[in-house]
Structure 1
Amino acid sequence: MFEDRPDRDEVVLVGRSNVGKSTLMRELTGHDVPTGRKPGVTRQPNHFDWASEGFMFTDLPGFGFMSGVPEEQREQIKTDVVRYVEDNADDILAGVLVVDGKSVVDIIDRHSGEGEVPHDVELFHFLRDVEVPTVVAVNKMDKVDDRDERLDDLCDRLGILPPWQQWRDTVAPICAKRGDIDALTDALETHFHEAKRDDLLKFL
């Protein structure tokens, strides 16, 4: 279980291992975040805070398949992530679900058997159920050719109606590695504004 959470408002980053959460975190915060070739480098929440502002970005551990990590441990990580969000929902200004634009639709389809809810879909609905404003940061879009079609397919899988363009505060196509994260910061701006936290816009 994760402990020692600083007491402040936050934006949390959640998602599978290896979708580029730590790279995105580096873009958002300017801090050097440990990223690894091996999935599962982040095992505890990484908080990047501004003490004077009562605000932080939090990179939560990746979940899902990780080579060399036993299933029991993977499940525990996912449980801890869910519990963290549940326990702190009142202080979370936005939950950013980071997905790999190139593979997310295929991964969702692969895990959509009977009685099975894919992690990404489950997490999206969970964040909304606990009333955390949710943005899906669709990363690695530089590797996607049929951009609009892919984003529409993702909306469809998440249970929100395409076209994706009408969900700009929910679906944000980005490429963290290239520093192209404007769609995400625009979406976060909307949520900060709605939470009456315009004082935090300078962090975006």
Structure 2
Amino acid sequence: MASKLKYETARFSGAYGTPEQLPEPTTPEVSFVGRSNVGKSSLLNKLLGRKALAHVSGQPGKTANINFYDVDGVMFVDLPGYGFAKVSHAEKRRWSKLIAGYFDQRRSFNLVVALIDIRHDAQDIDQETLAFLTQAELPFVVALTKADKLSRARQERQAATLARQLNVDRSSMVVTSAKAGTGIRELRGLIEAACL
């Protein structure tokens, strides 16, 4: 495999609604986790250099399955957004079972990209997610999304605050913006380093 991923070859590979349906892991995997309205689909599309491969919805909580994208032999795994209020309790339970079921499997967890909105303080659910990833010893990086909404100085201050609140090293965070393209090259570099 070349040292760079060919992102333009990205294609949708499948969507799965229960852990039992998930395909056998045969390639490196990069998983994307985050709250429902954190901008996961937008960031994925930007990373893949595509307008609408991952479905972007004006309505948070739209990714109800685990979506797999084949990117030059590396699987990008888009997990349902968590913590969104406007879905039924049954659906929320299904999502959390699905996410837990994915992480319970023996898979090639090369990197988990945990998305957090840079504009807000860390929420309990974000802290729980990062505590879980740390405890499970899964390699992860925190992508701080929607950075275009803040000034550069404010981005730095907020990143430092979030690092403290989440109890992670500032060096394991990437400030990103799907709109402005901020941090995309850096994030690609981390993904390639983890997978190639």
TM-score category (smaller protein): 0.7 to 0.9
1:114-133 to structure 2, matched below 5 A, reads 118-133=124-139
1:12-161 to structure 2, matched below 5 A, reads 12-31=31-50, 32-50=53-71, 53=73, 55-67=74-86, 69-88=87-106, 90-103=107-120, 105=121, 108=123, 118-145=124-151, 146-160=154-168
Q: Cα deviation per residue 1:125-184 (whole Å; 9 max; x = unaligned)?
A: 2112222111110000111231121111101111135xx2xx1xx201000122221232
Structure 2 unaligned segments of length 5 or more: list them.
1-17
Q: Cα deviation per residue 1:41-67 (whole Å; 9 max; x = unaligned)?
A: 1111111114x73x2101111010232
Aligned-partner Cα distance in 1 for 2:150–2:24: 38
Moved over 6 A (4+): none
Higher RCO (CA-CA < 8 Å; seq separation 6+): 2
**2:191 alignment partner in structure 1:** 188
Q: Which amino acid aligns with 2:179?
A: K
Alpha carbons 1:17, 1:66 under 8 Å: kept: no
Q: Cα deviation per residue 1:36-90 (whole Å; 9 max; x = unaligned)?
A: 111111111111114x73x2101111010232x12342233123212212214x4
- Percent identical: 30
Q: Which amino acid aligns with 1:84?
A: Y
Shift of 1:6: 4.7
Aligned-partner Cα distance in 2 for 1:4–1:30: 26
Alpha carbons 1:13, 1:95 under 8 Å: kept: yes
Q: Which amino acid aligns with 1:148?
A: E
Q: TM-score scaled by structure 2?
A: 0.79
Give RMSD over aligned pairs.
2.0
Aligned-partner Cα distance in 2 for 1:63–1:29: 23
